Amino acid sequence: MNLSTLLLIILAGSAVAYFIGYTRSQQIAKPIGGVRHLATLPTYYASMMTLWALIPALLLVFFWSVLDGAIIDSLVKSSLPQEAKRLSEENLGLIMSQVSNVASGIGSIDVLGQEYAPAVERLVSLTAISQRAMPLLAFCVLVLGALMGFRAVRATNNARYTVEKIFNVAIFVCSSIAIFTTFGIVFSVLFESIHFFQKVPFFDFLLGTHWSPQIAIRADQAGASGSFGVIPLIVGTLLISMIALSIAVPVGLMSAIYLSEYATSKTRSIVKPMLEILAGVPTVVYGFFAALTVAPAIRHYGDQLRVWGADNDITWLANLAVSSESALATGMVMGVMIIPFVSSLSDDVINAVPQSLRDGSYALGATQSETIKKVVFPAALPGIVGGVLLAASRAIGETMIVVMAAGLAANLTVNPLEAVTTVTVQIVTLLVGDQEFDSAKTLAAFALGLFLFVITLALNVIALKVVKKYREQYD
Amino acid sequence: MNKAQQSMAEIVKETYQTVGLPLLDDPKIRVRNANVFYADKQAIFDVNLDIGKNQVISMIGPSGCGKSTFLRCLNRMNDTIDICRVEGDLLLEDEDMYDKKIDVVELRARVGMVFQKPNPFPKSIYENVAYGARIHGLTDNKVQLDELVETSLIRCGLWKEVKDRLNEPATGLSGGQQQRLCIARAIAVNPEVILMDEPCSALDPIATATVEELIHELSENFTICIVTHSMQQAARVSQRTAYFHLGKLIEVNDTSQVFTNPEHQLTEAYITGRIG
Residue A247 lies in a domain: yes
Tell me, yes or no, if A379 comes closer than 8 A to chain B by beta carbon: yes
Size of interface A-B (CB pairs under 8 A): 72
Average pLDDT over residues A207-220: 72
Cα→Cα distances B222→A205, B56, B211, B267, Å? 72, 9, 15, 27
The answer on A149 and A59 residing in a single domain is: yes
Collect all residues of chain B within an 8 Å Cβ-Cβ radius of residue A378.
121-123
**Is A101 part of any domain?**
yes
Q: Which of B115, B117, B135 sits opposite A370 (nearest CB)?
A: B135
Residue A68 predicted with pLDDT over 70:
yes
Per the model's pLDDT, the better-predicted residue between B130 and A405 turns out to be: B130
Chain B hits for A364, Cβ within 8 Å: 108-109, 112, 131-132, 135, 185-186, 189
| B136 contacts A359? CB cut-off 8 A | no
User: B212: closest CA among B198, B170, B163?
Assistant: B198
CATH number for the domain that contains residue B153: 3.40.50.300
Range of B123's domain? 3-271
A219 shares a domain with A151? no
Check pLDDT > 60 for residue B94: yes
Considering only CB atoms, which chain A residues are within 8 Å of B184?
none
Nearest to A153 by CA among A25, A20, A19: A25
Q: Kindly report the CA angle at A137 between A136 and A143, in degrees rounded to 5?
A: 90
Contact status of B117 with chain A (Cβ, < 8 Å) = yes
For Cα atoms A419, A423, A424, give the angle at the middle one, nearest 5 degrees.
100
pTM greater than the 0.80 cutoff: no
Residue A23, pLDDT above cutoff 50 = yes
Q: Indicate the average pLDDT of chain A.
A: 85
Residue A419 has what pLDDT? 82
- Distance to chain A for B74, nearest Cα, Å: 11
Q: Is residue B276 part of a domain?
A: no
C-alpha to C-alpha distance for B13 and B250, rounded to whole angstroms: 11
Please tell me the predicted confidence (pLDDT) of residue B276: 62
CB of A374 within 8 Å of a chain B CB? The answer is: yes
> Which of B84, B105, B106, B183 has the highest number of chain A CBs within 10 A, making it the mutation to test binding with A?
B105
Q: Tell me which residue in B119, B136, B186 faces A356 most closely, judged by beta carbons.
A: B119
Kindly state whether residues A139 and A231 are assigned to the same domain. Answer: no
How does A427-463 read in b/e, with b if 16+ C-beta sit within 10 Å? beebbeeeeeeebbbbbbbbbbbbbbbebbeebeebb
pLDDT at B1 over 60: no
The number of distinct structural domains making up chain B is 1
Amino acid code (one letter) for A409: A
What pLDDT score was predicted for residue A473?
55
Q: Is residue A188 part of a domain?
A: no
Residue A113: is its pLDDT beyond 80?
no
Instruction: Tell me the pLDDT tens digit for each residue of B134-183.
Output: 998 888 899 999 999 999 999 888 899 999 999 988 988 998 899 999 99
Q: Is A314 a domain residue?
A: yes
Q: How would residue A323 be classed by pLDDT, with cut points 50, 70 and 90?
A: confident
- Radius of gyration of chain A measured on its C-alpha atoms: 33
Predicted confidence at residue A475, as pLDDT, reads: 43
**Which of A227-231, A468-472, B272-276 tops mean pLDDT?**
A227-231
CB contact under 8 A, B105 and A367: yes
pLDDT in tens, A117-144: 888 888 888 888 888 888 899 999 999 9
Shared domain for A277 and A395, answered yes or no, is: yes
Chain B positions touching A367 (Cβ under 8 A) are: 105, 135
Listed residue (B94, B87, B95, B53) closest to B70, CA to CA: B87
Phi–psi pair at B124, nearest 5 degrees: -75, 165
Collect all residues of chain A within an 8 Å Cβ-Cβ radius of residue B182. Answer: 360
Q: Are residues A249 and A362 in the same domain?
A: yes
Looking at the fold, whether A92 and A217 belong to one and the same domain comes out as no
Q: Is the pLDDT reported for residue B4 higher than 70?
A: no
B82 part of contact set with chain A, CB < 8 Å? yes
B138: helix, strand or coil: coil
Query: How close does chain A come to B138, measured CA to CA in Å?
Result: 12
Closest Cα of chain B to A27: distance in Å? Answer: 49
Q: Does B81 touch chain A (CB under 8 A)?
A: no
In a domain? residue A23:
yes
Both A430 and A288 in a single domain? Answer: yes
Average pLDDT on A80-105 reads: 78
The confidence band for B11, taking pLDDT boundaries of 50, 70 and 90, is low
H or E element that contains B37: strand B29-38
Residue A42's domain spans which residues? 3-157
User: Is the pLDDT at A210 greater than 50, yes or no?
Assistant: yes
Nearest to A364 among B117, B122, B189 (CB): B189
Residues A449-452: contacts with CB under 8 Å, at least 24 apart: A449/A189, A449/A193, A450/A189, A450/A190, A450/A193, A451/A230, A451/A423, A452/A396, A452/A397, A452/A423, A452/A424, A452/A427
Is residue B212 within 8 Å of residue B235, measured between CB atoms? no
Q: Are B27 and B54 in contact (CB under 8 A)?
A: no
Q: Do A365 and B82 touch (CB under 8 A)?
A: no
β strands within A309-405, DSSP E: none
Look at residue A218 in the predicted model and tell me its pLDDT.
59
In whole numbers, what is the pLDDT of chain B averaged over residues?
Answer: 88
Q: Contact A474/B122, CB-based, under 8 Å? A: yes
ipTM of the complex: 0.86
Average pLDDT on B72-98 reads 89
DSSP conformation class of A291: I
Assigned domain for A190 exists: no
Distances (CA, A) of A43 to A17, A18, A130, A292: 12, 8, 37, 62
Domain's final residue, options A157, A190, A219: A157
What is the tally of structural domains in chain A? 2
Residues B199/B226, Cβ–Cβ less than 8 Å: yes
Q: What is the average per-residue pLDDT within A384-397?
A: 87
State in Å, rounded, how far the first CA of chain A is from the last one.
Answer: 62
Q: Which amino acid is at B201?
A: S
Closest CA to B122 of A139, A407, A379, A394: A379
Of chain B, the end-to-end C-alpha distance in Å amounts to: 11
pLDDT, greater one: A75 or B5: A75
Residue of A nearest to B106 (CA): A365
How far apart, in whole angstroms, are the C-alpha atoms of residue A326 and residue A409? 11
Amino acid letter, residue A309:
G
Does residue A219 share a domain with residue A110? no
B121 close to A (CB below 8 A): yes
Instruction: Kindly determine whether residue B113 and residue A363, on different chains, have CB atoms separated by under 8 Å.
Output: yes
Contact B183/A at CB under 8 A = no
Which residues numbered 211-270 in A keep a CB inside 8 Å of some CB on B? 264-265
Residue A247 has pLDDT above 70, yes or no: yes
| B111 to chain A: closest CA residue | A363
**A151 and A215 inside one domain:** no
> Which whole-number Å values give the CA distances from B243 to A186, A397, B56, in the listed order?
70, 64, 14
A53 CA to chain B: closest CA distance, Å? 57
Question: Given this model, what pLDDT does residue A224 score?
Answer: 54
Please give the Cα distance from A33 to A21 (Å, whole number): 18
Task: Please tell me the distance from the alpha carbon of residue A176 to that of residue A82, in angstroms, as a whole number.
Answer: 47
Q: Is B113 on the interface with A (CB under 8 A)?
A: yes
- For strand B223-227 and strand B56-60, is the pairing parallel, antiparallel, or unpaired? parallel
- Please give the residue that has the higher pLDDT: either A19 or B9: A19
| Distance separating alpha carbons of residues B198 and B179, to the nearest angstrom | 11
Reduce the DSSP state of residue B158 to 3 states and report it. coil
B186 to chain A: nearest residue by CA?
A364
Question: Å from A345 to nearest chain B CA?
Answer: 20
Q: Which residues pair with B112 in a beta bridge?
A: B194
Cβ contact, residue pair B109, A365, below 8 Å = yes
Q: How far is A464 from chain B (nearest CA, A)?
A: 20
Query: Do B122 and A473 count as a contact with CB atoms less than 8 A apart?
Result: yes
Residue A40 has pLDDT above 60, yes or no: yes
User: How far is A342 from A251, CA to CA, in rounded Å?
Assistant: 9
